[in-house]
Amino acid sequence: MISKDSVNKNQQWQELVFKSFLQILRAPYGDFGSIWNLANVINDEDSLRETITLLSCHAPAKSAIQSRFLLGMIDLQQLNCLPKETLGYIYSEHMLRNGLKLIPCQTVKNDFDYLMVHLTEVHDIWHVVINADTSMAGETKLQAFVAAQLRNSRFSFAMLAKNLLKASVEDLVLAEQLMNALTAGWLLGKQSQPIFGIRWDELWEVPLTKLQEQLAILPKISS
C-alpha cells in the first residue's frame, strides 16, 4: 500500500518539475542555468540507477562506468591536421567552425555524476557521429537519439517536450522541423549500437563513415 506521505512527496516533486519546466520554457534556447535546474529536479535516484543498469548491459558502457574514464582536454588543432575523412578531423571542424569550446573536466563522485559528465563530454562528438548540426532541429535530433539510447531518461523526454511546446507557441515552422528531427533521432537511437562509453580518443583516425557503418548509424555497404 502506498502511504499518504509518499503520495504527497510525489505530488510535491511533480510540482517542482513543472516549475522548472515553466522556467526553461520562458528562457531562451540553450540557457544552461534552466537546463541544469530541470536535470537536477527531474532526475530521481531510482530512474538514474535504472539507466546505469540498462547501460551496463553493454560492454563499452559497463567498462566506462566502472573505470569512470574521461576524455579530458582534447587538442583540436592536432585533430584538425588529420585526414579530412577521419572522425578527429570532422569533429575538430565541427568545434572550430561553430566556435564551440571544450567543457573542462568536472568532479565525478559517483555513477550518477559520471553519467552526466560523460554525456556532457561526448555531446559534440555524438553530434558529429549522428550527423546532427547545431540548429534547434539538430539539437532535437540529438536529444531524441540520447533518449532512445538511455531508454528511461526523464530529463531527455522532458527536454523534447519542452522544445516541442516552445516551438508550438513561438515558431510553427520550427515545430514541424523539430518533429521531423525528433522522429529521425529516435529511430537512429533505436537502430544504432549503444554508443555510451565508447573510447572516442582511440578512434580519431578512423574514417567517420566507417565508424557510422560499424555502429549501424549508416547502413553497411557490402564490399
Residues ≥6 apart with Cβ < 8 Å to 94: 100, 124, 127, 128
**Three cell numbers, residue 66:** 566502472
Least Cβ distance, residue 181 to a copy of itself (angstroms): 11
Q: How far is the CB of 40 from a copy of itself (least distance, A)?
A: 14
Q: Can you say how many angstroms the Cα of residue 207 is from the centroid of all Cα atoms in its chain?
A: 22
Instruction: Pick between residue 155 and residue 200 the one whose CB is nearest to a copy of itself.
Output: 155
Task: Pick from 71, 82, 179, 218 the residue near a copy of itself by CB under 8 A.
Answer: 179
Q: How far apart are CA 47 and CA 40, in angstroms?
A: 13
Q: Which is nearer to a copy of itself, 105 or 165 (CB)?
A: 165
Of 39, 90, 160, 195, the one binding a copy of itself by CB under 8 A: 160
Q: Tell me the C-alpha distance between 182 and 142, whole Å.
A: 8
Q: Which residues of 129-143 are buried (b: 16+ CB within 10 A; e: fewer)?
A: bbebebebbbbbbbb
Q: How far, in Å, CA of 127 to CA of 137, rounded?
A: 12
Q: Which stretch binds a copy of itself (CB under 8 A): 14-22, 74-82, 120-128, 129-137?
A: 14-22
Residue 57, interface with a copy of itself (CB under 8 A)? no
Q: How far is the CB of 83 from a copy of itself (least distance, A)?
A: 36
> Site residues for a copy of itself, window 198-217 (CB under 8 A)?
none
Residues 131-150 that bind a copy of itself (CB under 8 A): 144, 147-148
Judged by CB under 8 A, which of 7, 22, 59, 81 binds a copy of itself?
A: 22
Of 61 and 182, nearer to a copy of itself (C-beta) is 182
Q: Check binding of 47 to a copy of itself (CB under 8 A).
A: yes
Say what angle helices 154-170 and 32-42 make with each other, to 10 degrees: 140
Cell of 188: 537512429
Beta-carbon contacts of 156 under 8 Å, excluding residues fewer than 6 positions away, are 143, 144, 146, 147, 150
Q: What is the closest distance, in whole angstroms, from the C-beta atom of residue 172 to a copy of itself in the complex?
A: 5
Three cell numbers at 96? 572550430
Task: Give the interface with a copy of itself as residue ranges (CB under 8 A).
Answer: 13-14, 17-18, 21-22, 25-26, 42, 47, 50, 144, 147-148, 151-152, 154, 157-158, 160-162, 164-165, 167-170, 172-173, 175-176, 179-180, 182-183, 186-187
